[in-house]
Amino acid sequence: MTRAYLDFYRGRRVMITGGLGFIGSNLARSLADLGADVLLMDSLIPDSGANFFNIDGIADRLRVNIADVRQESTMNHLVRDREVIFNLAGQVSHIDSMRDPYTDLEINCRSQLSILEACRKNNPDVKVVFAGTRQVYGKPDSLPVTEDHLVRPTDVNGINKAAGENYHLLYNNVFNVRACSLRLTNVYGPRQLIRHNRQGFIGWFIRLALENEEIQIFGDGSQVRDFVYVDDAADAFLRAGASDAVNGKVFNVGGTEPISHSDLVKVLIDVAGAGRARYVLWPPEKKVIDIGSFYADSSRFRQAVGWEPRVPLRAGLTKTIEYYRAHLSAYLDEPAPAPSTVA
């Protein structure tokens, strides 16, 4: 797949659920640049990462609808004329899912059914790309992890995300609503939530480095992860949305430079020129759901659509640090309220 997958989006009617969040807003930027007709949908759940500053500079090239995907009448209307839906709406905090499992169930299961039912009834020809997660695998039996690994989550979030993923595959296989799932590993980059530490450690580490604070590394820091720069993640969604070769399937979308937490922090401190590391004991509530070392084998997705991560880790961290240094206040304060022009 060459540039054809990018040309596919010119004039294409696209919707992004969770569109004011981290990955959704970066994907929206790519789509706006490609000339797509972009509709963002977001419920603005507090502490979710939704932020109107994320679409600063492109707000006049897209539309925003503030709504909850569980609202049946709203979803029936919004999906009706869309050709591609990038379904990024979801609760991503593992800790929050353990503290409040019912909310996680509502957002990661019922919401997904609401979207898919709206598509089945009102727009069965639409293509849906679901934002899955490596969390569905749980603790890996071997590394790197392929899509053939057992789905064995260690937390409520992983269970509900696995269910949401399987709803998409079911609707593809039974109702012919074309759908696939991208199991993302650790995505990082500009426009990520950094106000608190409940949505993954990488954004929080970046904030601490920016503020020249202490970065606490749990245990001995030997656990390994892979990281995907957000522009590469957005490219993965674009490729999946433009290809029918991925329908009814799941794919890993991971990085190519597995690195330990301790080495990651060293690189981050070096790039930022600030921050310091300290090793601490694991908090019990986090240790019990930790999956240990994890990095993915993304060769199946590469073979299907030609995707390759292009941004090396150090370069991605450099871009990220530069972005937040220029716009830090927009990510530390409460997100701005919806402007009056929002549909």
Average pLDDT, the chain: 92
Q: Phi and psi (nearest 5°) for 320?
A: -65, -45
pTM of the model: 0.94
CA 120 to chain centre: 24
Tell me, yes or no, whether 177 lies in a domain: yes
**155 vs 184, residue with greater confidence:** 184
Tell me, yes or no, whether 275 lies in a domain: yes
* pLDDT-derived band at 72, boundaries 50, 70, 90: confident
CA 215 to chain centre: 23
d(CA 45, CA 116): 21
Burial track 161-173 (b if 16+ CB lie within 10 A, e otherwise): bbbbbbbbbebbe
- The helix/strand/coil state of 69 is coil
Tell me, yes or no, whether 343 lies in a domain: no
Mean pLDDT (whole number) for 233-238: 98
For residue 206, give the CATH number of its domain.
3.40.50.720
Structural domain of 196: 4-332
Q: Please, what sign has the CA dihedral across residues 155, 157, 158, 162?
A: positive
d(CA 121, CA 105): 23
Tell me, yes or no, whether 12 lies in a domain: yes
**pLDDT value at residue 340:** 40
Tell me, yes or no, whether 337 lies in a domain: no
**pLDDT value at residue 1:** 53
Tell me, yes or no, whether 338 lies in a domain: no
Q: Phi and psi (nearest 5°) for 260?
A: -75, 160
**pLDDT value at residue 317:** 98
Tell me, yes or no, whether 255 lies in a domain: yes
Tell me, yes or no, whether 341 lies in a domain: no
Q: How many domains does the chain have?
A: 1
**pLDDT value at residue 234:** 98
**pLDDT value at residue 284:** 87
From the list 17, 123, 118, 14, the residue with the least C-alpha distance to 76 is: 118
Mean pLDDT (whole number) for 306-330: 97
**pLDDT value at residue 78:** 96
Mean pLDDT (whole number) for 310-339: 88
Mean pLDDT (whole number) for 6-19: 97
